[in-house]
Amino acid sequence: MNLFLEAFAWMAAPAQWTGNYALPKLLGEHLALTAISVLIAAAIAIPAGWLIGHTGRGREIAVAISGAARAIPAFGLMILLVLLLGVLRIPQAAVITFVLLAIPSLLAGAYTGLEAIDRRVIDAAKAVGMTGWQVFWKVEVPLGLPLLVGGIRSALLQVIATVTIAAYVNLGGLGYPIIQGIPLQKFDQVLAGALLVAALALLVDLLLAAAQHAAVPAGLRERRPARRRGAKATPPVSAPVPV
C-alpha cells in the first residue's frame, strides 16, 4: 500500500508537471503515436476487410496474415526495424511496428462484421432494387459497424499498451517513467507510469464500449417492456388441455 501512495505522490509532485518530460507532454506523445498508428492501420485494414466480407473471397489469406502478425513480438520487431532503417528513422520504425500490431484486429472487425449479416437481409435489399453499391453502404456497413468498432477498440487498447516501449528508443510517451525508473530502481516512478498507462487504456475502453453500443442500429437493439413499479408479474396463462 505504501508503494501505491508513493506512486500517487510522485505523480502529484510539481516536478512531474513541468519540463521536457512533464506528464501532460508524455501523454500527448503517447496519444499522438497511438492515433497515427491506428489511423494508418485503419486506412489499410478496413477497406481490405470490407472487400473480403463483401465478396467472400480471401478470408483464408486474411486469417493467415492476422495470425502471423499477432505472433510477431512488437519489441523485437521495433528494434529490428530501427537497425534496418537507421537511427535517423526511429519514429518511422516505431510507427510501422504499431501499425502492424493494429492491423489484425481492424481487419478481423471489418470482415467479420459483414460476414455476420444474415444473407436474407442482403437478398431482401437486392429484391427491392438496390444496386450492389447501395447494398454495401446502406445495409452491410451499418449492420457491420458494431463489430468494426469492436475491432477498433481492440486495436487501440493493444497499441496503447505497446506504445509504452517507444520510450526505449527515446520517443517519449507514458512508458518513459517506466523505462527510466527500472534501472534506477525507482519503483514508485515505475508503478506510477504503469498506473497512467492502465488508466488511459481503461478510459479509452469505456469510451469505445459506449461507441460500440451506440453503433448498433436502433431496430436491432434489445427492447424490454417496461414494468411499472409495484406491479406484479402476470403469471403465464396455461393452454387448455383437450379432453
- 234 versus 197: which is more confidently predicted? 197
The pLDDT of 206-225, averaged and rounded, is 78
Q: What is the mean pLDDT of the chain?
A: 85
The pLDDT of 204-221, averaged and rounded, is 86
Say yes or no to pLDDT of 242 above 70: no
Q: What percentage of residues in the chain have a pLDDT greater than 70?
A: 89
Measure Cα distances from 199 to 68, 69, 174, 179 in Å: 30, 27, 11, 18
The pLDDT of 71-91, averaged and rounded, is 87
190: nearest Cα among 34, 15, 26, 4: 4
Q: Are 116 and 52 in contact (CB under 8 A)?
A: no
Q: Are 91 and 171 in contact (CB under 8 A)?
A: yes
What's the whole-model pTM score?
Answer: 0.84
- Reported as a single tens digit per residue, the pLDDT across 121-178 is 888 888 888 887 888 888 888 899 999 999 999 999 999 999 999 998 888 899 999 9
Say yes or no to pLDDT of 57 above 60: yes
**Class assignment of domain 19-218?**
mainly alpha
- Reported as a single tens digit per residue, the pLDDT across 17-42 is 988 889 999 999 999 999 999 999 99
Contacts with 19 (C-beta within 8 Å, 6 or more apart), sequence order: none
Cβ atoms within 10 Å, residue 36:
16
Domain extent listing, the chain:
19-218
Confidence band for 218, pLDDT divided at 50, 70 and 90:
confident
pLDDT recorded at residue 224:
47
* 3 state DSSP class of 32: helix
Say yes or no to pLDDT of 230 above 60: no
The pLDDT of 216-230, averaged and rounded, is 59
Q: What percentage of residues in the chain have a pLDDT greater than 90?
A: 46
The pLDDT of 103-128, averaged and rounded, is 89
pLDDT recorded at residue 129:
84
- 72 versus 165: which is more confidently predicted? 165
Q: How far apart are CA 29 and CA 23, in angstroms?
A: 10
Confidence band for 235, pLDDT divided at 50, 70 and 90:
very low
The pLDDT of 182-206, averaged and rounded, is 93
pLDDT recorded at residue 222:
60
Cβ atoms within 10 Å, residue 89:
14
pLDDT recorded at residue 221:
67
H-helix or E-strand containing 214? helix 187-214
